[in-house]
Structure 1
Amino acid sequence: MVYEDFVPGEVVEHRPGRTITMSDNTWSSLLCLNQHPLHIDAVYAEQTAFKRILVSSLVTFGIVNGMTVSSISAKCIANLGWDKVRMTAPVFVGDTLYATTRILTKRESAKRPGEGIVTVHTTGLNQDGVSVIEFERTILVPRQEADR
């Protein structure tokens, strides 16, 4: 999307969903050096309040954010930041995640002619429609005339 395509208040659904596997969780947890046993040790996890392995929040964040790329930021020039990241419910191996994004604001860049700044709010939902993550993201995108 280019700057002119973003309409504040509009909601975009990101499909298809993505089912989380144990490999996703283990590899991503270890890649990020998150060796907390709750994410990689089934025996340990069984002794916690969750009673099973909990998917790392970095895995959840990465997958939900990634789901938005093709429909929100494929033409993005730069990610300017993520704010208000909240893990709102646990995610477990076997859960399927979906996402929606609401366009919050947009403005022309004061420093970069031909570009605009857009802020969105993304919600990740599990297969039961329960919100598992929410965050705001600000991106720098080209203006339509700069995209030609």
Structure 2
Amino acid sequence: MPGLYFDELMVGQMFDHPLRRTVTEMDNVLFSSLTHNPALLHLDEEYCRTETEFGQRLVNSAFTLGLMVGISVGDTTLGTAVANLGWDEVRFPHPVFHGDTIRVETEVLELRESRSRPHAGIVTFQHRAYNQQGKLVAICKRSGLQLKRPQAVRA
């Protein structure tokens, strides 16, 4: 499924992404290991069971952020993004655990013509991720440089 061009997006547009993903222990351990994050909260089940309020390991929040944005790509930016410009106001209001199934929704917050690239515009998205109980587990604003439709560039 291709992404949308800058001129196909509207402020207030909502996407309820059909892709969902159940997070596994392997996802968490592999991601934490690959990114050199040795936090006991992600890797030590016994520590989490006896020493934390959660009683189990937490999924690495950087994985959650990447998953949230990744789920959105097919509907929004696949093949039409020039570059990701940044993430702002990243929050994790509820932890993600092994076995949680994540769904994501995206809202277009802002559209702005690029001053330096006439073939593109800047889009600000807000992504929200929820677990299977409907609890908000992650939220962020993401800005990206998005291509305009090819015919819009020629006009």
- Is 1:25 aligned to residue 21 of structure 2? no
- Please list every run of 5 or more consecutive structure 1 residues that lacks an aligned counterpart in the other structure: none
**Could you tell me which amino acid in structure 2 is paired with residue 108 of structure 1?**
E
- Aligned partner of 1:39 in structure 2 is 42
CA distance in 1, matches of 2:8, 2:134: 27
- Aligned partner of 2:130 in structure 1 is 125
- Is 1:55 aligned to residue 59 of structure 2? yes
**Could you tell me which amino acid in structure 2 is paired with residue 7 of structure 1?**
M
- 51, 65, 68: which is aligned to 1:64? 68
Report the secondary structure of 2:7's partner residue. helix
- Is 1:99 aligned to residue 94 of structure 2? no
CA distance in 2, matches of 1:60, 1:26: 13
Q: CA RMSD in A?
A: 1.1
- Is 1:9 aligned to residue 12 of structure 2? yes
- Aligned partner of 2:85 in structure 1 is 80
CA distance in 2, matches of 1:76, 1:12: 17
Report the secondary structure of 1:112's partner residue. coil
Report the secondary structure of 1:68's partner residue. helix
| Deviation larger for 68-77 or 131-140 | 68-77
- Aligned partner of 2:116 in structure 1 is 111
1:73 positional shift: 1.4
1:5 positional shift: 1.1
Report the secondary structure of 2:81's partner residue. coil
1:69-126 per-position Cα deviation (integer Å, ceiling 9, x unaligned): 1111111000011100001101000000000001001011011111111101010000
**Could you tell me which amino acid in structure 2 is paired with residue 82 of structure 1?**
W
TM-score (norm 2): 0.92
CA distance in 2, matches of 1:142, 1:107: 12
Q: Percent identity over the alignment?
A: 37
- Is 1:138 aligned to residue 125 of structure 2? no
- Please list every run of 5 or more consecutive structure 2 residues that lacks an aligned counterpart in the other structure: none
Q: Number of residues paired by the alignment? A: 147
**Could you tell me which amino acid in structure 2 is paired with residue 73 of structure 1?**
T
CA distance in 1, matches of 2:102, 2:153: 35
